Amino acid sequence: MTDQQWTELKAIIGGEILSPLPVGFIIDSPWLPNWYGIQILDYFSSDHLWLEANLKALETFPEAFFLPGFWAEYGMCSEPSAFGARSVFPENEFPHAFPSIHSIEEIPALEVPDPATGGLAPLMINRLKLNQGRIQEAGHKIRFSVSRGPLNIASFLMGTTEFMTAMMTHPEETHLLIRKITDYLLAYHRLQAEQFSSIEGILMLDDIIGFISEDQFLEFGFPYFKELYDCALPVKFLHNDASCMESVRHLPDLGVNLFNMGVDTDLNQLKELTSKQVTMLGNIPPRDVLARGSKAEVKEATLQLLHGLKDPSRVIFSCGGGMPPGVSSENLAIFIETVKRFKP
């Protein structure tokens, strides 16, 4: 993000209404490589292609916030790799991390990895270092430290069903696992901030909080997320595009002030549930409309969102979740143009 965009983002979080209204998207490997015209594996293995794909998106759509901006990642393998998860990288499909914890009894012996040397984290940080000069020459800076959330990582290390079952059958061991992952994430976000002085935001992505009850969230999620978000940064961003109704009312107490939700929730309701303290990033259907819809359908859905919003403050117009595969430049341009021309 540019200095101007970062200033505008903080203003929106502070409650200011910009004119024209703001547009933003989470972009990463599910969308960027194929949109740019390369294979996913090329995007992961070439610093040059990774940088050029990101720069092309910024040049093509300068009116949009692209978040977190220059995200160095290896899909869902990024953090589980540090804990020994076996990863596969197909040529043009999403990578996948396999469970590395096969029984509850393995958790006490699990070591907390060093993000400076363990797994894929050193490669991701070094990619940013190698390209930081070009990023700054383009007028942008590295603004966010980024990771998946602790429950999301735990679900990859154990398997989603196994992890969620363990919450009920072995709560003590489950807490120990989440504790170790949280300790890793605290060190990882601290390391990113130490390496890049321009970082003023934190982004975590965790869909597992959308699969558990409010009581489970308060026990297994809230304390660890609160610890991770307890930092002196102006932008504290959370992505959860599963159901958020069991957890969303607790976001202000976590310190979260920017939230990207799933498509099955109404922005007016979410704003009320968070006492209008959290900026919402959403919320037209990502796959069925933004990716698969016609230009007319994208425009219609966007206008419905705009007209249905009671209060445009603390909203960045987007899709529910990150940018999905297959979104065309034409559909993205229609969305941006429709929002920018709208007068609340």
CATH 3.20.20.140 corresponds to the domain 3-341: no
Q: Which helix (H) or strand (E) holds 81?
A: none
Measured CA to CA, the distance from residue 214 to residue 94 in angstroms comes to 31
Q: Is the peptide bond before 20 cis (omega within 30 degrees of 0)?
A: yes
Quote the pLDDT of residue 332. Answer: 98
Locate 310 and state its tokens.
Answer: 């009671």
Report d(CA 13, CA 11) in Å as an integer: 5
Q: What is the mean pLDDT of each run of 10 residues along the chain (344 residues)?
A: 98 97 97 98 98 98 98 97 97 97 97 98 98 98 98 98 98 98 98 98 97 97 98 97 95 98 94 97 96 98 97 97 97 98 92
Look up residue 233 and give its amino acid: L
Q: pLDDT value at position 29?
A: 97
Q: Which pairs from 215-220 meet CB under 8 Å and 24+ separation?
A: 216/167, 217/246, 217/247, 217/250, 218/250, 219/171, 220/151, 220/167, 220/171, 220/174, 220/175, 220/178
Strands 65-67 vs 87-88: parallel, antiparallel or unpaired: unpaired
pLDDT at res. 184: 98
- The secondary structure element, H or E, covering residue 261 is strand 258-261
Q: Which of 337, 182, 239 is nearest to 30 (CA)?
A: 239
Q: 47 phi and psi, to 5 degrees? A: -60, -40
CA 43 to chain centre: 18
Q: What tokens appear for 256 in the block?
A: 């979260």
Instruction: Give the span between the Cα atoms of 153 and 175, in whole angstroms.
Output: 13
Quick check: helix, strand or coil at residue 67?
A: strand
State the pLDDT at residue 264.
86
Q: Distance between CA 222 and CA 295 in Å, rounded?
A: 40
Q: Give the list of residues 6+ apart from residue 296 with CB closer than 8 angstroms, or none.
A: none
* Spans of all domains in the chain: 3-341
Length of the chain: 344
CB 22 within 8 A of CB 282: no
Residues 2 and 196: beta-carbon distance below 8 Å: no
